[in-house]
Amino acid sequence: MLPISADRIAAALNTQKIGGRIVYRPLMTSTMVVAQEEIAAASPHGSVILCQRQEHGIGRMQRQWISPEGGVYLSVILYPPEYVCSALTMLASLAVADSIEEVCGCSVDLKWPNDVLIGNKKVSGILACSGMLREGTLWAVVGIGINANIDTAELPEDLRTTVTSLSETCGREISREQLIIKILQELERRYQQFLAGEMMWAEWEKRLITIGREVVVHDNSQTYSGFAESIDKDGALVIRRENGKLVTLSAGDVTLKEN
């Protein structure tokens, strides 16, 4: 398998900020953890944390993100205005979807809030978090994990039926470097457009296979079922429950009911 070279990625990027600094190590605990250390050390806006393998990859809702050799594991450090924080999952998922489609030539679906799917199986996940430094500066980290060149038969048994990889879908090895370059460029483009006032919620809503479906959403200990009507202006999912009332959910795990 072709290794990832941070130098080649840096040389090929035509971004202004994202990827201006790339912290690369073959093995990390988690790029999210290294990102926190980098923020504490005043790493600049757009810094990218990249590795080939993670020992303790972090997924949403306290899950583990299994991160063997062959995947893409990166985090991007941003210092955004507050209103952009709730849009970061949307911006990253659109950037990842477009990049996979261009680099791999296959079509992908998005499932609210952060899943990238191929044929109903998860191929990528996005994890965004944010906070504030003591002096009041907002920080955010966008983590992106992609099952690029991974043999899913080697993943833990409970994952094998629900995940897929790009190499299995396309029947060939995917250039992780090309994919990473495209994602970073797309993320910067979308981030700048969002800052310039182009909201993109409607584009995201159109791409989400969740909308217009009967769904069940698990959010902590609560379960909501109903019809997924739309996305609100902060990216939250608006569901019409069986009693006709609307509920707005900003997080959760969605199961799509059969049509």
**Which residues of this chain interact with ligand BTN, rule CB under 6 A?**
30-32, 54, 57-60, 63, 65, 73-75, 114, 125-127, 143-145
**Minimum Å distance from CB 75 to ligand BTN?**
5
**Minimum Å distance from CB 113 to ligand BTN?**
9
**Minimum Å distance from CB 54 to ligand BTN?**
6
List helix spans (H) across 41-175.
82-85, 88-104, 157-160, 166-170
Computed from CA positions of residues 63, 64, 70, 72, in that sequence, does the dihedral angle turn out positive or negative?
Answer: positive
**Minimum Å distance from CB 86 to ligand BTN?**
17
In terms of CB distance, is 15 or 75 closer to ligand BTN?
A: 75
In terms of CB distance, is 76 or 228 closer to ligand BTN?
A: 76
83's tokens? 């209103």
In terms of CB distance, is 50 or 231 closer to ligand BTN?
A: 50
In terms of CB distance, is 125 or 235 closer to ligand BTN?
A: 125
Q: Which residue is nearest to ligand BTN (CB)?
A: 125
Angle between helices 176-195 and 88-104 (to 10 degrees): 140
174's tokens? 């995917």
In terms of CB distance, is 124 or 169 closer to ligand BTN?
A: 124
List helix spans (H) across the chain.
6-12, 31-40, 82-85, 88-104, 157-160, 166-170, 176-195, 201-207
DSSP one-letter code for 160: H
66 near 158, Cβ under 8 Å? no
**Minimum Å distance from CB 65 to ligand BTN?**
4
